[in-house]
Chains A and B, each alone.
Chain A
Amino acid sequence: MALRKIVLSEDEMPRQWYNILADIKMNPPLGPDGNPVSPDALAPVFPMNLIEQEVSSERWITIPEPVMEVYRIWRPSPLVRAINLEKALDTPARIYFKNEGVSPPGSHKPNTAVPQAYYNKVFGIKRITTETGAGQWGSALSFACSQFGLECKVFMVRISFDQKPYRKTMMGVWGGKCIPSPSMETKAGRDVLAQYPDTPGSLGIAISEAVEAAVSDTTGQTRYSLGSVLNHVMLHQTVIGLEAKNQLAKVGEYPDIIIGCAGGGSNFAGTAFPFVLDKINGKNIEIFPVEPAACPTLTQGPFVYDHGDNAGYTPLLPMHSLGHNFVPAPFHAGGLRYHGMAPTVSQLVNEGLLEAKAVSQLEAYEAGLIFARSEGHIPAPETTHAIAQVVKEARRAKEEGKEKVILFNWSGHGCLDLGAYEKFLAGELTNPIFTEEEKVKAAEAFKNYPRPANLKSR
């Protein structure tokens, strides 16, 4: 009988996070004056102990015991051999997934929310503000703050706030205060509401509100927290990959392929970075961050354009294939075009240590269903992108007749995201769905939407 779950005992948990900045070279962000941004510039929003981690080049950073205590609520998370998925795909590959959906909020997010709350606490901070889209990060930070007796205020983009009332409730259960953004609590929010009372909000507005709420506390006891992209977030997430490495070693395995979905990059980085270190040291591993398929006209082939300046202000040269006769090219790797992708992940893609992959919306949900119907767990929509790539690789292994070991991060469950599954099951989620007639209808429907005002040049 094949072993299904590989578990570590609590005393086998990693005691240190892995900091990839010790092993790669990064260009520092440059400020408007052309000089590297000083860490002090972030002091109004982050406590100095986290800023020190943000710029640290120490390879191993000890996980404080109070963080370990909270991690133990759900960590070590199980590494699961996806035996039923292997059977469903009829593949010789051995597929393992790290189940990060077992955390209280149901995703990998608390891996960094908990240490961030802890470091704020020891720095003397009483309140943390943040923004959230669909609520995963806001839930995780609310949970983390509750563990350390901190207040938590979450500005949630209004369109998601209205769609996902249970997320607000989750945050409330943990003592977090969830406010639809834009709100009247900040000048940034009030200004937007004055101009657009019915606005659905945006992440940009929510971030502005969360930062203003932190900066405007004259007692200095409020800070802001970010759940992705930044170096210290990637650092905290490496607990995933470090555990997985130990778990695989227990059964004498080592991955040939590592896969994770890549939004801001943190769950992917957390899984992959400890293995990137091995790859830097000569191991032969394929490591794939996976993102939604990008518009091919923007990333390849016939879309030829030339800016007259680097900022892209000037008109472009004429181009072809973007008119109504435009036919999308086959799917391809868009190359991590996602806004705010972690610079460390982007750097590793540029160096060729990682190879970005892209999957379509339809491929992702199809894979999500294959997984749920074989392994049982319902994956979050983000996670389905990783699974879609796993399915491709498992089928490739079958074609090649190779017993590859595939590791992927199951970054969270989708039990609060069932709307999308409902659409998929109803056949409403498909690839190109607009007929010519529907396009005309769509144009009619959209034409009365307010046109954007040109407030200023970028």
Chain B
Amino acid sequence: MESVDPSIRCPRLGSDVPFYYCRKCGENGLPCFKVFDCWWEIFDVVAYLRDELSPVDFERLKGTKPKEKVLSLLEIIEKAKKNASEPPAQ
């Protein structure tokens, strides 16, 4: 069977991405939280992901609300500080 992997323009990146990218680029390996908004014009992404994800992950994805930018920055800063203080692995 011929593989189908259509690409669409990602409004966050500003360039074309295949569904493969949207499927895994979200937080903790979940699909991007915009995946429903972006792919609904192309195919029934809601039904597809409901089949593919565990019920817990599907509900989590559906309920994802973006964090306030400043708050997410603070989290990233704290994580970066921790990373910077760890010695590089040998």
Please classify how large the interface on chain A is, using the bins under 10, 10 to 19, 20 to 34, 35 or more: 35 or more
Closest B residue by C-beta to A215? B80
- Nearest CB of B to A377, in Å: 18
Chain A interface secondary structure, helix, strand, loop or mixed? loop
* Docked-complex contact A160 and B13, CB < 8 angstroms: yes
* Docked-complex contact B42 and A434, CB < 8 angstroms: yes
Complex Cα distance, B33 from A444, in Å, reads: 23
- A297-B40 in contact given A446-B48, A449-B20 (Cβ < 8 Å): yes
Q: Which of B12-49 contact A (CB under 8 A)?
A: 12-17, 19-21, 23-34, 36-38, 40-48
A16, CB-defined interface residue at 8 Å: no
The listed residue with most A CB atoms (<10 A of its CB), out of B14, B42, B46, is B14
- A334-B37 in contact given A322-B50, A432-B42, A445-B5 (Cβ < 8 Å): yes
Which one of B20, B40, B41, B57 lies within 8 Å of A452 (CB-CB)?
B57
A80, CB-defined interface residue at 8 Å: no
CB neighbours (8 Å) of B12 from chain A are: 133, 203, 263, 338-339
Which one of A298, A446, A450 lies within 8 Å of B36 (CB-CB)?
A298
- A133-B14 in contact given A322-B46, A445-B5, A454-B57 (Cβ < 8 Å): yes
- A445-B80 in contact given A41-B74, A316-B62, A340-B66 (Cβ < 8 Å): no
CB neighbours (8 Å) of A312 from chain B are: 59-60, 62-65
The A/B interface has a contact count, at CB < 8 Å, of 231
A295, CB-defined interface residue at 8 Å: yes
Complex Cα distance, B65 from A382, in Å, reads: 23
The listed residue with most A CB atoms (<10 A of its CB), out of B6, B8, B9, B19, is B9
* Docked-complex contact A216 and B41, CB < 8 angstroms: no
* Docked-complex contact B77 and A215, CB < 8 angstroms: yes
Give 1 or 0 for each of B60-78: 1 = CB within 8 Å of chain A CB.
1011111011110110110
* Docked-complex contact B68 and A458, CB < 8 angstroms: no
* Docked-complex contact A338 and B11, CB < 8 angstroms: yes
* Docked-complex contact A295 and B37, CB < 8 angstroms: yes
For the complex of A and B, 9 pairs with smallest distance between CB atoms: A312-B63, A452-B29, A134-B14, A216-B84, A133-B13, A434-B43, A187-B83, A202-B25, A212-B80
CB neighbours (8 Å) of B81 from chain A are: 44, 215
CB neighbours (8 Å) of B24 from chain A are: 449-450, 452
* Docked-complex contact B13 and A452, CB < 8 angstroms: no
Complex Cα distance, B73 from A343, in Å, reads: 14
CB neighbours (8 Å) of B63 from chain A are: 307, 311-312, 316
CB neighbours (8 Å) of A444 from chain B are: 1, 3-4
Give 19 new A-B contacts, CB below 8 A, not counting A159-B15, A215-B81.
A37-B70, A41-B77, A134-B14, A159-B13, A186-B83, A187-B83, A187-B86, A203-B25, A208-B80, A215-B80, A226-B69, A305-B62, A312-B64, A340-B66, A433-B43, A438-B4, A447-B52, A450-B24, A454-B54
Please classify how large the interface on chain B is, using the bins under 10, 10 to 19, 20 to 34, 35 or more: 35 or more
Which one of A212, A291, A433, A446 lies within 8 Å of B42 (CB-CB)?
A433
- A31-B83 in contact given A208-B76, A324-B47, A445-B4 (Cβ < 8 Å): no
A164, CB-defined interface residue at 8 Å: yes
A204, CB-defined interface residue at 8 Å: yes
Closest B residue by C-beta to A380? B14
- Nearest CB of B to A209, in Å: 9
* Docked-complex contact A229 and B80, CB < 8 angstroms: no
CB neighbours (8 Å) of B30 from chain A are: 452
Q: Which of A188-229 contact B (CB under 8 A)?
A: 188, 190, 200-204, 207-208, 211-212, 214-216, 226, 229
* Docked-complex contact B80 and A339, CB < 8 angstroms: no
CB neighbours (8 Å) of A30 from chain B are: 71
CB neighbours (8 Å) of A453 from chain B are: 28-29
Which one of B13, B28, B38, B68 lies within 8 Å of A455 (CB-CB)?
B28
- A136-B59 in contact given A188-B83, A208-B79, A434-B43 (Cβ < 8 Å): no
* Docked-complex contact B73 and A211, CB < 8 angstroms: yes
CB neighbours (8 Å) of B25 from chain A are: 200-204
CB neighbours (8 Å) of A42 from chain B are: 70, 73-74, 77
Which one of B54, B56, B80 lies within 8 Å of A216 (CB-CB)?
B80
CB neighbours (8 Å) of A382 from chain B are: 11, 14
CB neighbours (8 Å) of A390 from chain B are: none
A257, CB-defined interface residue at 8 Å: no
Closest A residue by C-beta to B84? A216
CB neighbours (8 Å) of B76 from chain A are: 207-208, 211
CB neighbours (8 Å) of A451 from chain B are: 52
